[in-house]
Structure 1
Amino acid sequence: MLNVSGVSRSFGGVYAVRDVSLSVADGEVCGVIGPNGAGKSTLFNLITGHLAADHGRISFLGQRVDRLAPHRRARMGMSIVFQAARVFRGMTVEENVMVGAHGHTRAGFAAAALRLPRHQADEREIAAEAADALARVGLAEWADRPADLLPIGQQRALQLARALCARPRLLLLDEPASGLRAEERERLATLVEELRAAGLTILLIEHDVGFVTRLADRVVVLDLGRVIADGPPAEIRSDPAVLAAYLGQAS
């Protein structure tokens, strides 16, 4: 589903990501880990289109996308949950989630402005999808509350619900467990496991080794902008290069 081939990006002559290649198969949960400064966030932004690569290519669903804007990639089925909480202030939780469905509405601007029947049908369908997404992440009872009043853990859950409302082919999670309490992390892990069981393809970029190795079918390890290991979680945990670069720092 996703193929990253020989991608590099430098800042001021220093490479944040250098000749990185990885792939994510349909239905797979692929985790990307690495110590601070390994290049994880840069790689994430290259895949989502928020940064342009200096070299290499990125393909999604068999189509080259490294020259496409983020919204074009989103329309193809990439949905993003960023590390920083991003909510639309002045809108309810439900309205925030409904925004995620804008890419697959059928009625145009004129129909919306004139409140034509096809727009109203779209609104009902989107509201139902939003309600379902909120129920999946445990926020159904918060639907009518202002989104900016949610605690950080629930704002992260809101972002996930909004991403699911976009009907993703590929879900991209950037440090989703960062800043969460133990019970919130467990709830998030359980939800990711449910999404994996439902067949959703997920790329998970995360600092927490235990969180990733619990959830991922395969783990890619970055260090100083390069891939130093790629394999199943059990193999990654015992890889000498990974122990030296990452796990040794965490012990």
Structure 2
Amino acid sequence: MGASLVVSGASKAFGGVFAVREVDLVVEPGELRAVIGPNGAGKSTLFALIGGQRAPDAGAVRLDGVRIDRLPAHRRAQLGVSVVFQAARIFPRMTALENVMVGAHTATHAGFLAAAVRWPAHYRSERLIVSRAREALARVGLADWSTRPAASLPLGQQRALQLARALCAEPRLLLLDEPASGLRAAERDELAALLADLQQEGLTMLLVEHDVGFVMRLADRVTVLDLGRVIAEGTPAEVRADPAVIAAYLGDRQGSAA
């Protein structure tokens, strides 16, 4: 079951200028929530506050009621938070399978001693991780690429590889930072279908994305930021028709949506 995410009064300033200011956001278990906004709206900063790359100056981030905004990234991962960044973060000299296996590091409990002396618990854990990594590669369409060096994969496949690594951790909350950026139309369609399947399985997702069309066909609800503040929130249809959103992001002040 997916986790609930609650952001309350989150603020972050740089040099006295607020990138995010008093943002409230509630994502229900199993919901696919999108965050959109024009350049400089604060989307990336909000994503970093939730994902753990930055700490808020004020406010809190809670996962199932547990405050996580001061926890390091590995502790958030242990609680079920997986992050897919806009830039594909891979280990270039490792194979695709080895890259994905890294995502399961929070699932193994065999410990260092078991690995050092090759106890049976280590082998069981290793087999489990390999099995999960192969399954995750298959989910993103990379089953045939498992033995290839990650650096040899095209950009679209490197993005898919990062998503597979996140799924290998069996997350309860998946954070995606502009996952459709730079993808071809067919690749965007495949990604949209996968995210829809993951939601059907109950995974909670927060999607930060520039591609409005991609967002509108996927998201249950959309939060719109402008100048670090929430200016609108609702279903895709409600947000698309909101005059403040049209003026700030989707089109001109006469209401022609982009």
TM-score interval, smaller chain:
over 0.9
1:240 to 240, 243, 251: 243
The equivalent residue for 2:140 is 137
- What do the CA deviations read for 1:98-147 (whole angstroms, capped 9, x no partner)? 10000010110111122221111111111111111111100000001101
1:187 aligned to 2:190? yes
Give 1:55 deviation, angstroms: 0.7
Q: 2:69 & 2:219 partners in 1: Cα distance?
A: 25
Give 1:183 deviation, angstroms: 1.1
Unaligned runs of 5+ in 1: none
Question: For the aligned residues, what is the CA RMSD?
Answer: 0.9
Give 1:28 deviation, angstroms: 0.4
The equivalent residue for 1:106 is 109
Where does 1:80-119 land on structure 2 (aligned, <5 Å)?
A: 80-119=83-122
Where does 1:151-166 land on structure 2 (aligned, <5 Å)?
A: 151-166=154-169
Where does 1:114-125 land on structure 2 (aligned, <5 Å)?
A: 114-125=117-128
Q: Which amino acid aligns with 2:142?
A: L
The equivalent residue for 1:12 is 15
1:200 aligned to 2:239? no
Q: Which amino acid aligns with 1:205?
A: V
Percent same amino acid among aligned pairs? Answer: 67
1:170 to 163, 169, 173: 173
Q: Under a length normalisation based on structure 2, what TM-score does the superposition of the two structures give?
A: 0.95
3-state SS of the aligned residue for 1:134? helix
**Length, aligned pairs only:** 251
The equivalent residue for 2:25 is 22
2:59 to 52, 56, 72: 56
- What do the CA deviations read for 1:152-187 (whole angstroms, capped 9, x no partner)? 100010011100000100000001011111111111
1:72 aligned to 2:75? yes
Unaligned runs of 5+ in 2: none
2:46 to 43, 46, 57: 43
